[in-house]
Structure 1
Amino acid sequence: MRIGELSRRTDVAVYLLRYYEEQGLLHPQRGAGGYREYVEEDVAIVRRIRSLLAAGLGTSTISTVLPCLRDTGDRLVPTCSDLLADLHQERDRIAQVISDLQASMNALDDVIAAAPADVTRRALASLDM
């Protein structure tokens, strides 16, 4: 199948499929005229990539873990013993980002709470427009 069909079947834009190829996540064959040719397994690979991106992993990490994951239909299962340590590291990184964002939100809440009543009223009135 060509890239347009892969895009339709996975609901992923063509430019993203090309990006996944640039990142080494997809490896299409080249047909006559240089067109990318994808196989059925590429549909599953794109779905795994999308799941991992949604989980907060970057493409460089995905390129490392993708070969060590099996799709059972309802979840991705690690198949390489050393993969779990990498996944725990990524989880810890994401937890730290969440913690940092929570601290930023709390600091912003403090600034908002310190606003004088008249400023708060004007701000709320402008939101009702």
Structure 2
Amino acid sequence: MTTTLKILGLLIALSTGLRGQQTVGLFLNDSLAVNGYTLFSPNFNTYLIDNCGRVVHSWLSGYVSGSSVYLLEDGDLMRTARVQGSFNGGGVGGLLERYNWEGDLIGSYQYADAEKHQHHDIEPLPNGNF
């Protein structure tokens, strides 16, 4: 019993000296941080956050996000979304949605059928096309 307690005490003493890697909370890396905002869409929501991690604005869609999202010069949001189709795998989208700043869906275009499917990225072009 005494040996067990000594071993347990030694293990506790050794483990308190170990420092684990931070896994929760706000991570800050000043050397890599740039002034500006971050736009991301992990699910049905799209978030615009500042450098402190505060939500500046958000949009809600009826579809899970595809792999691409853009904040346009006029303040509209362009995002890809996943729709059912004959293609599966990472990066599959198939639907392009455009929302105004107020969160209203102002346009959508489905590019998904048995022969084609939007996949991964889109790119806004100077003439307004994607």
Q: Say yes or no: TM over 0.5.
A: no
TM-score bracket relative to the smaller structure: under 0.3
| Structure with more helix by fraction | 1
| Structure with more strand by fraction | 2
TM-score (norm 1): 0.22
| Larger-gyration structure (1/2) | 2
TM-score (norm 2): 0.22
